[in-house]
């Protein structure tokens, strides 16, 4: 899904389809596009928005240290590959530079993870994943194009019932 800067509405819009999932709204807009409808006149609007944060696990200082170690090792691997590929090392090999970078990255990552978690002083001792969800999605079209969009989407409904 690509997202670009939100244009300011220059005209009023009309809801031509209301559905329960984003995937259904996306299918409707895709159908309009397949029928050569000018989709730059279409907007998908989520209504009944709510923020949901799913707690995934308890986070301890040791856990934060482990996560920091992993991220630090990946960061070290990335930089180690760059240095090992682009620079010659007089007293080491490609693998030596790579291993050294991963180890240094892991150590610094572990330290950063432990210090960051300790700095919260127990205020957030859990890990979570957050999401914004909508109860309904409306496919809205500029008033000047709404009648044509409704006719096209009516054909979509007929084609889906036939399938």
Whether residues 44 and 93 share a domain: the answer is no
Contact predicate 41/145, CB 8 Å: yes
Answer yes or no: do 83 and 138 share one domain.
no
What is the pTM assigned to this prediction? 0.56
Indicate if 60 and 126 belong to the same structural domain.
yes
Residue 1 inside a domain? The answer is no
Evaluate whether residue 8 is within a structural domain.
Answer: no
Confidence of residue 161 (pLDDT cuts 50, 70, 90): very low
114-to-57, 71, 122, 130 alpha-carbon distances in Å: 17, 13, 12, 23
Ordered DSSP codes for 57-105: EE--HHHHHHHHHHHHHHHHHHHHHHHHHH---TT--HHHHHHHHHHHH
**The residue to which tokens 């889906």 are assigned:** 160
Same domain, 21 and 39: yes
Residue 85 lies in a domain: yes
The 10s digit of each residue's pLDDT in 132-155 is 889 999 999 999 999 999 999 998
Q: 74 with 126, same domain?
A: yes
Same structural domain, 95 and 111: yes
Q: Do 66 and 27 have their domain in common? A: no
Same domain, 34 and 85: no
Q: Which of 139, 137, 135, 163 is nearest to 153 (CA)?
A: 139
Is the separation of the CB atoms in 70 and 109 below 8 Å?
A: yes
CA distance 55 to 128: 4
What are the φ and ψ backbone dihedral angles of 63, each rounded to 5 degrees? -65, -45
Q: Is residue 38 within 8 Å of 132, Cβ to Cβ?
A: no
Instruction: Clarify whether residues 33 and 93 are in a common domain.
Output: no
Whether residue 31 is found in the same domain as residue 93: no
Res 124 pLDDT > 90 = no
Q: Is residue 3 part of a domain?
A: no
Domain count, the chain: 2
Cβ–Cβ < 8 Å for 148, 37: yes
CA distance from start to end of the chain: 27
Q: The CATH number of the domain where 147 resides is what?
A: 3.30.70
pLDDT in tens, 51-67: 999 999 898 889 999 99
DSSP 120: T
pLDDT at 121 over 80: yes
Q: Are 125 and 138 found together in one domain?
A: no
37 within a domain of the structure (yes/no): yes
Q: Which range marks the domain in which residue 80 is found?
A: 53-130
């Amino acid at each position: 899904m690509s997202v670009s800067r939100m244009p300011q509405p220059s005209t009023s819009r009309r809801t031509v389809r209301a559905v329960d999932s984003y995937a259904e709204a996306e299918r409707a807009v895709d159908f309009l596009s397949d029928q050569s409808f000018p989709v730059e006149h279409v907007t998908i609007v989520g209504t009944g928005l709510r923020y949901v944060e799913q707690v995934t696990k308890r986070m301890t200082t040791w856990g934060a240290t482990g996560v920091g170690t992993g991220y630090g090792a990946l960061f070290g691997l990335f930089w180690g590959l760059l240095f090992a590929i682009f620079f010659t090392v007089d007293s080491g090999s490609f693998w030596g530079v790579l291993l050294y970078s991963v180890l240094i990255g892991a150590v610094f990552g572990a330290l950063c993870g432990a210090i960051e978690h300790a700095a919260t002083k127990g205020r957030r001792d859990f890990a979570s994943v957050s999401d914004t969800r909508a109860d309904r999605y409306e496919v809205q079209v500029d008033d000047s194009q709404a009648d044509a969009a409704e006719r096209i989407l009516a054909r979509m409904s007929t084609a889906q019932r036939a399938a």
